[in-house]
Structure 1
Amino acid sequence: MVTYGLIAINVLLYLVTAAQAGNPMQNHRGSSVFGEFVLVPLLVADGEWWRVLGSGFLHYGAIHLLVNMFALYVVGRDLEQVLGRVTYGCLYLVSLLGGSAAVMALSDPYTMTAGASGAVYGLFGAVTVTLIRLRQSPTPMLVVIGVNVLISFSLPGISLWGHLGGLAAGTLSALGILFVPGWLSARDLRSAQRLGWIAMGLVTVICLAVIIAAALWLRTQPPFITPPMVTVPA
């Protein structure tokens, strides 16, 4: 149900932005909701912290939305059943934060980034770790990840850092949930769950630390004329 809920939120926000813009394919133009939540590193540095999460539920046009929601539908349902609703939902949000952290640290500070791809890439990584934990072949997911990363490198106008940041956060979170308890020889199920949550919490802290450090660094830079902002799907 978490997967369907996430899809519903993304679709609802897209419909709102499309209605405000009066154009389903150019919904980022003329939408106050889109302008309020799209990720722009300089605006985050100026105190608009909600953008690091809100941007992950916005999309540039119907095609961008459909691609991300189809991927979320395909990988999300099975992963939710394996991890459980709460753990899965938290992993999704941590992956989203990882994508935003990478954008904050490594992208142009004027770039407008939006999309669920960072979180979806995190699910890709988590599914791969899950397959390894279940002693099944991770090759299909590794191929999917490799193809998508290649596309991110090859095509202009795609948030490469958002994708890679989400992939890293989701993969590390899944490792923490599924492997760290065994590595640390957890004594029982409750201890294993506690260690998994601690591991995912550490990933979250790292993501937040990167976002804060990037924002503080941007605040130290000398002011200069703002060039036209560039939109980047994630």
Structure 2
Amino acid sequence: MPELKVLRGGAVAFFATEQSPLARNRKHIWLGLVLGTLLSAFLSRDSPGGLWAVVLVGLLIGLWTEVGVRRQLKFGQALATLTDEAIEAPRLSAADKRLRWCDIDHIEVAPGHGGRAIVFVLKPGLASNRRAFLTGSRPSRPMLALSLFAPADQERLLDEARRLHRLANTGKADGLPVSNELAEERVFHERLVALAPVPWLTYGLIAANVLVWLLMLGEGSMLTTTPVPTLLDWGGNAASEVQKGQWWRMASAMFVHGGLVHLAANMFGLYAAGTLVERIYGAAPFALLYCGAGLAGSALSLHFAAQSAVSVGASGAVFGVAGALMVAVAQHRRALPQFFRTQMLGGVGFYVVYSLMQGFGTQGIDNAAHVGGLLGGALVAAVLPERFDLTRYAAAIGPRSVVAAAVAGVLIVGMVATAPVATLDQGRMIRTDKTLQVLFRLFDKTVAAMVADGEAVTAGRMSLIEADERSRTVHAPAFRDLLVQLDAADLGRNDPRAPFVEDLRQLTALFAESLAMASVVDVERGQVTPADPARMDKIQRDIEIVNQRLKDYAAKVRPAR
């Protein structure tokens, strides 16, 4: 299928191809839908109806995307035709799809239509400059999306449009070369890639994170969530454990993730920013930057989230990489291609601000690690030299790396040293969790046995006198044994389960006392009454009060559906 064709009379026509960004994005969407369907099939393997619903929705999304892309690209039809008099483009964001060169003041490249676009700025007075409410477009600035064309055609289209515009307005087609920011950006990107054709360290870090998650998955973790004990066992960051001397957790937590979505989000961010930052700074400085940012994030987390939870994830290091990218672009903004500079500062800046705002408003996100990583990455990057000038870089990289490591070290040690003593002993809490689970099951079993005797009396299978005897000889000893085990449970200070366990202990003690109380037995009438009715009434009221507190607690911690 042709990309560019010279027509009769010297006109040039540009066509869409499968190499255009929009066409490639269509393939990525299909790939994502296939992978998403396979994942959904695994998760809903016990629910065929749910699986078919996911497949149907995915297919509808794919078909809607396919139709939309083909309508945009119009394969086989010219998407832009340039003559000596005008440009005609069916996807031009203007009511009139034909613009005369003599009506155009200048041509520029700007963000638009989900990517970059050629903007034809009309001469004053020819069209309204008022921005449309829904689309944001302005009649005085018609735009043509570059995503419709292959990368090489984008440059040709811009060159040809500017050449014909100059010819129509000045009568000269030759003279000073017309600038092409698309070509400048391509050359800049080629220079970056040449510095590190394969950013092996970024790929290695991604592989390490994925490998750790797969190993955790092999040991029983779920795709969507990982139990807190597993996170701690695999090296999660917890202030109580770090302050016991397990400093290595600050580093190991950078490779542990709580689920597939958590892992995928961090690895996508690392790939998007890491490949650029590794090429800009070099592999060894990038390793220093990544580790410094990740450790700074873990250190600041000791003041906040890690005080009462197990903090995991590479997000602190990823935020540091994003911060380093912004520092590099800001320091060299005058020497970098305009669109690259705008895209990096605007795109990465938006990602950082949006993520931090979301973190402050969403429970379960360790925003302290994000802030610490961003701060650490930015500080280290401000010291390290970039490889935009290789001669200066070679002379400065050694001493500046030492300074950068010192800056990171002071920042990390300072935050660790000033972290408050942990409010919750995560290690002890997790170690006692299994014991408590056993005790909770034993409590339920003991209560069930007592209730079974009551049902037997109601059904006539057991007399009141027999049940009364069993209450003192069977059930009361069982509750006393349970009470001893509950008293031995060492939860530690500030354990959030302590009120629940205390109420359970109190309820167990009340059951033990009521069941062990002596009775007055009327054999002739077959009746049994407590020896101390007033105390029994008080015990029953206390049981109701404590039982209601336990129900309220259970309702609070019950997961939302």
Bin of the TM-score, shorter chain as denominator length: 0.7 to 0.9
Please state how far the C-alpha of 1:196 moved relative to its aligned partner.
4.3
Equivalent residues in 2 for 1:21-170, closer than 5 Å: 21-28=220-227, 31=230, 34-107=232-305, 109-135=307-333, 136-137=341-342, 138-170=345-377
Please state how far the C-alpha of 1:26 moved relative to its aligned partner.
2.8
Residue aligning to 1:227 = 496
1:208 to 399, 403, 413: 413
Please state how far the C-alpha of 1:227 moved relative to its aligned partner.
3.1
Does the residue aligned with 2:421 lie in a helix, a strand or coil?
Answer: helix
Give the distance between the partners of 1:13 and 1:108, measured in 2 at CA: 21
Give the distance between the partners of 1:129 and 1:88, measured in 2 at CA: 14
Of 187-196 and 126-135, more deviation after overlay is shown by: 187-196
| Pairs aligned (count) | 218
Over 3 Å counting, the alpha-carbon distance change for 1:21 and 1:198 in structure 2 is same
Please state how far the C-alpha of 1:209 moved relative to its aligned partner.
2.9
Residue aligning to 2:216 = 17
Please state how far the C-alpha of 1:47 moved relative to its aligned partner.
1.2
Over 3 Å counting, the alpha-carbon distance change for 1:82 and 1:21 in structure 2 is same
Does the residue aligned with 1:114 lie in a helix, a strand or coil?
Answer: coil
Give the distance between the partners of 2:319 and 2:270, measured in 1 at CA: 9
Over 3 Å counting, the alpha-carbon distance change for 1:29 and 1:99 in structure 2 is closer
Does the residue aligned with 2:209 lie in a helix, a strand or coil?
Answer: helix
Dislocated runs of 4+, deviation >6 Å: none
Give the distance between the partners of 2:201 and 2:415, measured in 1 at CA: 27
Give the distance between the partners of 1:161 and 1:219, measured in 2 at CA: 15
Give the distance between the partners of 1:125 and 1:24, measured in 2 at CA: 30
TM-score (normalizing by structure 1): 0.84
Give the strand-richer structure, 1 or 2. Answer: 2
Residue aligning to 1:4 = 203
Deviations 1:147-169 (A, max 9, x none): 11111112111001011110000
Residue aligning to 1:182 = none
- Equivalent residue letter for 1:226: D
8 Å contact kept, 1:21–1:28? no
Over 3 Å counting, the alpha-carbon distance change for 1:122 and 1:134 in structure 2 is same
Give the distance between the partners of 2:212 and 2:359, measured in 1 at CA: 25
5+ residue gaps, structure 1: 180-186, 229-234
Q: Percent identity?
A: 28
Give the distance between the partners of 2:205 and 2:393, measured in 1 at CA: 32
Residue aligning to 1:232 = none
Give the distance between the partners of 1:28 and 1:9, measured in 2 at CA: 21
Give the distance between the partners of 1:21 and 1:145, measured in 2 at CA: 33
8 Å contact kept, 2:237–2:306? no
Of 51-60 and 133-142, more deviation after overlay is shown by: 133-142
Give the distance between the partners of 1:115 and 1:41, measured in 2 at CA: 15
Give the distance between the partners of 2:287 and 2:233, measured in 1 at CA: 26
Give the distance between the partners of 1:155 and 1:22, measured in 2 at CA: 24
Please state how far the C-alpha of 1:178 moved relative to its aligned partner.
3.7
Does the residue aligned with 1:113 lie in a helix, a strand or coil?
Answer: coil
Residue aligning to 2:89 = none
8 Å contact kept, 2:300–2:372? yes
Over 3 Å counting, the alpha-carbon distance change for 1:83 and 1:156 in structure 2 is same
8 Å contact kept, 1:7–1:69? yes
5+ residue gaps, structure 2: 1-199, 334-340, 387-391, 425-491, 498-561
Does the residue aligned with 2:409 lie in a helix, a strand or coil?
Answer: helix
Give the distance between the partners of 1:35 and 1:125, measured in 2 at CA: 31
Larger Cα Rg: Structure 1 or Structure 2? 2
Q: Does 1 or 2 have the higher relative contact order (CA < 8 Å, sep 6+)?
A: 1
8 Å contact kept, 1:28–1:35? no
Please state how far the C-alpha of 1:189 moved relative to its aligned partner.
4.6
- Equivalent residue letter for 2:413: L
Residue aligning to 1:195 = 400
- Equivalent residue letter for 2:227: H
8 Å contact kept, 2:289–2:380? yes
CA RMSD of superposed structures (Å): 2.6
